[in-house]
Amino acid sequence: MKTVSTAKSFGGTQGVYTHTSEVCACDMTFAVFVPPQAKNGKVPVLWYLSGLTCTHANVMEKGEYRRMAAELGLIIVCPDTSPRGDDVADEADNWQFGKGAGFYVDATQEPYAKNYRMYSYITKELPALIEKEFPADMSRQGIFGHSMGGHGAMTIALKHPDTFKSCSAFAPIVEPSTAGWSKGAFERYLGADETNWRAYDACALVKDGKSFPEFLIDQGQADSFLDEGLRPWLFEEAVKGTDIKLTLRMQEGYDHSYYFISTFMDDHLRWHAERLG
């Protein structure tokens, strides 16, 4: 692991780091905020997964999480959204696919299978590095994200309920297997057999019996992607009759931007902190 930069913030440290990922077969960048409480021992870890077109930097610079994370004593880990590098397969004129749009899946189709393994990167490789290099209590982990990252957070939580104690999302893509801006990417990453897509679809996972204690979802009612790609009501319908508790808050006047995310960031951090202890 190499340190790109560090800066003191609210008594803690905001750092940016790189390392060579064996899983993604390229160098990866990620950001970590360590709160001041970590000077006295290990603290809980909260993963933030960013959305389409983003890197680690978007939430780090515009998410406004450090003040509350420092108050609550939370490590915040912000990975990149996809593999990077000149040798990584990409489609430069398509913002819904390729670099910046990894969808937190393990691709099985060429030429993407070599690098696009964000699911394994987030669930295996990067956690091992965080545990080794930072004062992280890995027995107390939460996960949240925005848009594509909200989709990633929810699917990862549903498949790893023993690892994560909390999960929330800002404007998540709850059923990417049928959404216009993700269905094409799923086919190219995972193949034409749609049964293979279900492992990365929150609604399908619930219908297939996966569970998680509870979710918090905030969704802006003025979000231009609401009807086309996000459709939180589909997840609301999917959890009916299950043991999954869902708090879905439709926020009047809010869009898909970081103005929306930063407005409700404190609410999400407090919500996670209550469940992480």
Find the catalytic residue in 56, 146, 151, 256.
256
Find the catalytic residue in 21, 82, 147, 166.
147
Instruction: Taking the CA atoms of 226, 229, 231 and 232 in sequence, report the sign of the dihedral they define.
Output: negative
- Count CA atoms closer than 13 A to 39's CA, side-chain side: 7
Contact 156, 212 (CB under 8 A): no
Find the catalytic residue in 90, 201, 218, 223.
223
**Distance from chain centroid for Cα 245:** 20
Output the six-digit token pair for 118.
């964000």
Q: How far apart are CA 134 and CA 129, in angstroms?
A: 8
For the question of residue 256 being annotated catalytic, the response is yes
Output the six-digit token pair for 69.
């994370």
For the question of residue 255 being annotated catalytic, the response is no
Mention every residue, 6+ apart, whose C-beta is less than 8 A from residue 39. Answer: none
Q: How far apart are CA 61 and CA 172, in angstroms?
A: 21
Catalytically annotated residues: 147, 223, 256
